[in-house]
Structure 1
Amino acid sequence: MDSTTSILPADDLRHLVESGGAPRLVDVRTPGEFETAHIPGSYNVPLDLLREHRDELRAHLDEQVVLVCRSGQRASQAGQALAAAGLPNLRVLDGGMTAWQAAGGPVSRGRARWDIERQVRLVAGSIVLVAVLLTVVVPPAKWIAGLIGAGLTFAALSGTCAMGMLLAKLPYNRGPRTDLDSVIRALAADRP
């Protein structure tokens, strides 16, 4: 976490929202995840879009900003990117949408999808299971399971997941298209 980015507990954000003093909420999950469930009034700016266009977005995020994702990890990465672009007043929703829902915060729901993390567990587990079963016939297949294990270890240590990034690009996970122009129009239209 960058020194200019702080943590905001879900209960504190819920009280801010209920009192009418909500900061600008930027949800950095994929459009599909956002469509499934999000905090009402939040803006979907996927992490990859935010990283690529942080300087353009900075001009539209000059007030208090709370970054949201599923658990807080991607929001922390977004906070680092925006802090590097010179944006002050950044906070990350502690525990992300998981904590928000546990705190009883309101949620807008859309089409249900499995979250990316669950999809990664399904795909990685299935590959390992098939590789282990395949070793009965083709012993070197054990290395497939080893590669998946190495990839998961790297994902945990680096905070990135190549399989998750690939799964996020599937049509099932994309949801409605989110581009820079539509994000900037939405941010500018709702500016106080």
Structure 2
Amino acid sequence: MTAPMPAMIDSAELNRRLASGAPPRVLDVRTPGEFETVHMPGSYNVPLDLLREHRDEILAHVDEDVVLVCRSGQRAAQAEETLRKAGLPNVHILDGGITAWQTKGFVVNQRGQRWDLERQVRLVAGLIVAVSILASILVPGLKWVAFAIGAGLTFAAVTNTCAMGMLLAKLPYNRGASCDLRTVVAQLVDAK
């Protein structure tokens, strides 16, 4: 049996629902660093790794419609699967993520400039491949490092996961302000 397709919502529809009497809860699953750089007003930062690890504690404080946001929709799709498996019925994904929201001209809170996680992955993977190929002139076995990175990127595409991205998300640059379980739950409770 195949998993049901996630319910997508476009930026215009989300904007309309946010202005209604019963707006959905918007959970942004990007890293705290990405969230601090740009986010939708009223959204809550619940990084994907935190959501996966503490799903039940977070769900205890989310009982309404939920819209998941990330940069482009990939991490939100992973979060949607986690929440759907936990039994949360009304979960949507913002089609195109915060990128689409900004492109449509909707309001965002923006501060500073940081590279998003996907761009960081491309930089690190590209550097490792380039350096290992060049260094393989002196140490022929290093070409296998480039192969491993290519195989890892292929696996990431096929499984829609990214081990390198999850490792980079743990760096201090991407952690930003405090975004632990206690802080997230306190924000969700205070909003009710």
Superposition RMSD on alpha carbons, in Å? 1.7
Check 1:4–1:65 CA distance in 2 against 1; reply closer, same or farther (3 A cut): farther
- Counterpart of 1:132, as a letter, is I
CA distance in 1, matches of 2:52, 2:180: 13
Higher mean C-alpha displacement, 10-19 vs 84-93: 10-19
Indicate conservation of the 8 Å contact 1:2/1:83, yes or no: no
Task: Report what 1:189 is aligned to.
Answer: 190
Report the TM-score when normalising by structure 2.
0.92
The alpha carbon displacement at 1:135 in A equals 2.2
1:153-188 CA distances to partner (integer Å, 9 max, x unpaired)? 111111111111111111111101211121111111
1:102-181 alignment, distance < 5 Å: 102-181=103-182
- Any unmatched runs of 5+ in structure 2? none
The alpha carbon displacement at 1:12 in A equals 1.1
CA distance in 1, matches of 2:170, 2:57: 24
Check 1:2–1:91 CA distance in 2 against 1; reply closer, same or farther (3 A cut): farther
Aligned residues: 191
The alpha carbon displacement at 1:19 in A equals 4.9
The alpha carbon displacement at 1:121 in A equals 0.8
CA distance in 1, matches of 2:119, 2:137: 28
The alpha carbon displacement at 1:15 in A equals 2.5
CA distance in 1, matches of 2:108, 2:39: 5
1:28-39 alignment, distance < 5 Å: 28-39=29-40
The alpha carbon displacement at 1:133 in A equals 1.2
CA distance in 2, matches of 1:174, 1:59: 24
Check 1:104–1:20 CA distance in 2 against 1; reply closer, same or farther (3 A cut): farther
- Counterpart of 1:48, as a letter, is D
CA distance in 2, matches of 1:9, 1:102: 12
Report the TM-score when normalising by structure 1.
0.92
Indicate conservation of the 8 Å contact 1:32/1:172, yes or no: yes
Task: Report what 1:64 is aligned to.
Answer: 65
The alpha carbon displacement at 1:4 in A equals 8.1
CA distance in 1, matches of 2:47, 2:31: 5
1:18-33 alignment, distance < 5 Å: 18-19=19-20, 21-33=22-34
Task: Report what 1:88 is aligned to.
Answer: 89
Check 1:148–1:5 CA distance in 2 against 1; reply closer, same or farther (3 A cut): closer
